[in-house]
Structure 1
């Protein structure tokens, strides 16, 4: 989802590369969204530039199937017709898609893997931030595994079982290991450790409208 309040015009999306298409066929388009670009335009005119806006200049019938946060990079899927859109969107709704992300987080995560099962809700006092809300939050689950260590940082692969707004960012904050460069949830050294949010949608698998099982991957840029 978009990270910027609709009334906030401070937005400088990357222009190079302008658009990176990894795959196209009669039904689907797959793009690698850069960090800093909205998935869809905001209501404020200053927020009009987005991945969808750019794609529709070349593919006017394109419809976005799912979104990434502005500061998250990686695989984004779009459809080229309403039949394909309904077919794939139903898989996201049913949570049968297979998604994996790569993140670098602050500190050394002691365990090799784990599951975070904490409900999430909008933080009404700090929109658009979200928070763990045990009483009113919507169910959210994230499986994770360690794939490497650096100096006071850990590289994780994340497997979200649900698709709540800011889910991975809030879950890792709750784990005690915020994502590096996260301007919403990190502070101090963890915020200053990277010049962007170190979260990337690496892989997306689902059933294509033609019936085949497909997986698309975008190389992690950090």
Structure 2
């Protein structure tokens, strides 16, 4: 996706307080180390200089991101994320056959020996909780996969990717946590931030945004 007219190409909602966009897969939310300057917020700042960061998605995850347009809105919405007052739902394809629904309640910790990997670590002191629900099962290149809805209650780095790997059903296309075979089933990480709800920073109204997964 071209950096020109990025906001127009990705915009879901805009008012005077915040913007909501559909982040493409493969693009950093914020600048990375070294010369990795091409990212969502820099593209937005080029078109809307008042853009302020609220939250992030992994580079290879697509979907809904909200950015503030003033300090008051940034503070208000950021606190909703911190206090778990937002409702987030992700859409994913995972390897193998998964049925029913359940939860993974296992802390996720950074693995300093294998950056940027994280691991499921029951001894770690920060909790991580994900609810999952299987939607349908089908095949890609004769390999079974399951479409799932994922609801993170906490927001740890790589949480959904690590929790699905912990279940034995890594996310398809995940170069960090899936097997080589499952990684090759799709040309991208099949993880998409599909739904986000939060309170309007001025009116207090409940807002719900939905952006269907492209896979």
CA distance in 1, matches of 2:24, 2:188: 11
Residues 169/48 of structure 1: CA separation in 2 closer, same or farther (3 Å cut): same
CA distance in 1, matches of 2:121, 2:27: 28
Picking from 68, 74, 77, the partner of 1:85 is 74
Instruction: State yes or no: 1:199 paired with 2:188.
Output: no
Match of 2:2 in 1: 15
Map of 1:158 onto structure 2 = 150
Q: Which ranges of structure 1 fall in alignment gaps of 5 or more residues? A: 1-13
Take 1:18 and 1:35, find their aligned partners in 2: how far apart are those partners?
14
Q: Matches of 1:154 and 1:70 in 2, distance apart?
A: 23
Is the 8 Å Cα contact of residues 121 and 137 (structure 1) preserved in structure 2?
Answer: no
Question: How many Å apart are 1:189 and its aligned residue?
Answer: 1.6
Q: Cα offset for 1:138? A: 1.9
Are residue 189 (structure 1) and residue 181 (structure 2) matched?
Answer: yes
What per-residue deviation string (whole Å, max 9, x for no partner) do you get for residues 8-62 of structure 1? xxxxxx43884411111010100100000000011312x1000000001111111
Determine the C-alpha separation between the residues in 2 that align with 1:181 and 1:128: 17
How far, CA to CA, are the matches of 1:34 and 1:137 in structure 2?
33
- Alignment partner, residue 11 of structure 1: none
Q: TM-score, normalised by structure 2?
A: 0.93
Q: Distance in 2 between matches of 1:201 and 1:120?
A: 19
CA contact (8 A) 2:6 2:44 kept: no
Worse overlay, 129-138 or 67-76: 129-138
Q: Which residue, out of 112, 121, 124, partners 2:112?
A: 124
Output one character per residue of 1:52-103: Cα deviation in whole Å (capped at 9) or x when no partner: 0000111111111110000000000000000001110010000110000000
Question: Which 5+ residue runs of structure 2 have no aligned equivalent?
Answer: none
CA distance in structure 2 between the partners assigned to 1:105 and 1:124 by the alignment? 26
Query: Is the contact between residue 142 and residue 161 of structure 1 (CA under 8 Å) also seen in structure 2?
Result: yes
Separation in structure 1 between the aligned mates of residue 186 and residue 33 of structure 2, nearest angstrom = 29
SS for the counterpart of 2:12 is strand
Asked whether the 8 Å contact 1:120–1:137 carries over to 2, the reply is no
**SS of equivalent residue, structure 1 residue 63:** coil
In structure 2, relative to structure 1, the CA distance for the partners of 1:174 and 1:39 (3 Å cut) is same
- Asked if 1:221 corresponds to 2:214, the answer is yes
TM-score, length-scaled by structure 1: 0.90
Measured after TM superposition, the shift of residue 172 of structure 1 is: 0.1
After superposition, the C-alpha distances for 1:87-130 in whole angstroms (9 at most, x for unaligned) are 10010000110000000000001x31001000011011111110
Provide closer, same or farther for how the CA distance between residues 190 and 137 of structure 1 changes in structure 2, counting only shifts above 3 A.
farther
Across the aligned residues of Structure 1 and Structure 2, the Cα RMSD in angstroms comes to 1.2
